[in-house]
Amino acid sequence: MAFPKKKLQGLVAATITPMTENGEINFSVIGQYVDYLVKEQGVKNIFVNGTTGEGLSLSISERRQVAEEWVTKGKDKLDQVVIHVGALSLKESQELAQHAAEIGADGIAVIAPFFLKPWTKDILINFLKEVAAAAPALPFYYYHIPALTGVKIRAEELLDGIQDKIPTFQGLKFSDTDLLDFGQCVDQNRQQQFAFLFGVDEQLLSALVMGATGAVGSTYNYLGKKTNQMLEAFERKDLSLALNYQYQSCFLIYFSCLGFGVSQTKAIMTLVSGIPMGPPRLPLQKASREFTDSAEAKLKSLDFLSFTDLKDGSLEASS
């Protein structure tokens, strides 16, 4: 095994997969995207082909190409590139895991299969174990996102004795609001050097209190710098300042009842970074005009993102 690798900690941007207006992947902007994350947002870890990256809406060949492009463009610039390799088919997941190892990724993550589902901890572990074994030199992270997979096995239960079954297990990406489950994961694994990466950006401060060692999320693409300031305030025990940052990011995320998801993330990132992210792929729909107009107004009204952070006058995603 190539361990020990540097522990994955701090902010990890869940990357968007840029697309053209006709739905093809726009590989040409990934180099620019890497530079934007590193230089403008101070974020040097990425999570590729996850929820934000529409990984499950891409073909296997596209997922391989996207992973390869991020690893290539991130070389000597990014600290860690973790590739999400979860799939409904064990074979596909193994193929992607093996590919991630071949291209020099720093880790792999896997969600629970969500159509024919594992109903018990042992069955889920068996699935994850088979995927991890396809990349025996790569750190393995379990990606817990029960609201989307429908697999409700508690993370705390899953982690109990997991390294005996999956020796490459290095941590948990926890995208759920159940802070009791999250806290129990941390508390019951204090002897291990696991990474506990929280995935609900609007609750990150609470998760830091519970022992999160880092965070993976969509908003760190464009709020990385501000969220790093929140992490620093938390480190200094300046909770009032940290809370102020957290509330501002919550209010940005929930500024309207128009919904917030991958389409909205693409639209906001296009506006803030000036890099065209394009529309999402079906079944997702492009963010509505109503959303983009109110998002633009909100971004401008918030001190959080100053006027000068906005690279262009319109939020319309590369149209």
Nearest approach in angstroms of CB 122 to ligand SI3 is 25
Nearest-CB residue for ligand SI3: 50
Nearest approach in angstroms of CB 268 to ligand SI3 is 11
Binding site for ligand SI3 (CB under 6 A): 14, 47, 50-53, 175, 199-202, 216-219, 253, 260
The Cα–Cα gap between 75 and 97 comes to 19
Q: Could you confirm whether 33 is annotated as catalytic?
A: no
Which residue, 189 or 218, has its beta carbon nearer to ligand SI3?
A: 218
| Tokens representing residue 251 in the block | 């209010």
Residues paired with residue 141 on neighbouring β-strands, in sequence order: 109, 171
> Quick check: 45 and 4 in contact, CB under 8 A?
no
Nearest approach in angstroms of CB 74 to ligand SI3 is 17
Which residue, 16 or 159, has its beta carbon nearer to ligand SI3?
A: 16
Flag whether 308 is marked binding: no
The Cα–Cα gap between 26 and 313 comes to 22
Q: Could you confirm whether 173 is annotated as catalytic?
A: yes
Which residue, 146 or 276, has its beta carbon nearer to ligand SI3?
A: 146
> Quick check: 157 and 189 in contact, CB under 8 A?
no
Q: How far is CA 226 from CA 21, 59, 107, 219, 249, in A?
A: 30, 34, 26, 10, 9
Which residue, 14 or 233, has its beta carbon nearer to ligand SI3?
A: 14
Start-to-end CA span in the chain (Å):
47
Query: Position of tokens 């093809």?
Result: 24
How long a stretch of residues is the chain?
Answer: 319
Nearest approach in angstroms of CB 176 to ligand SI3 is 9
3-state helix, strand, coil in the chain (%, to 5): 45, 10, 40
Residue of 44, 73, 173, 286 marked catalytic: 173
Rounded to 5 degrees, what angle do the CA atoms 290, 58, 33 make? Answer: 65
Residue of 33, 142, 143, 245 marked catalytic: 143
Which residue, 163 or 206, has its beta carbon nearer to ligand SI3?
A: 206
Nearest approach in angstroms of CB 205 to ligand SI3 is 13
> Quick check: 113 and 127 in contact, CB under 8 A?
yes
Flag whether 216 is marked binding: yes
Query: Annotated binding site for pyruvate, which residues?
Result: 52, 216
- Please give the positions annotated as active site: 143, 173
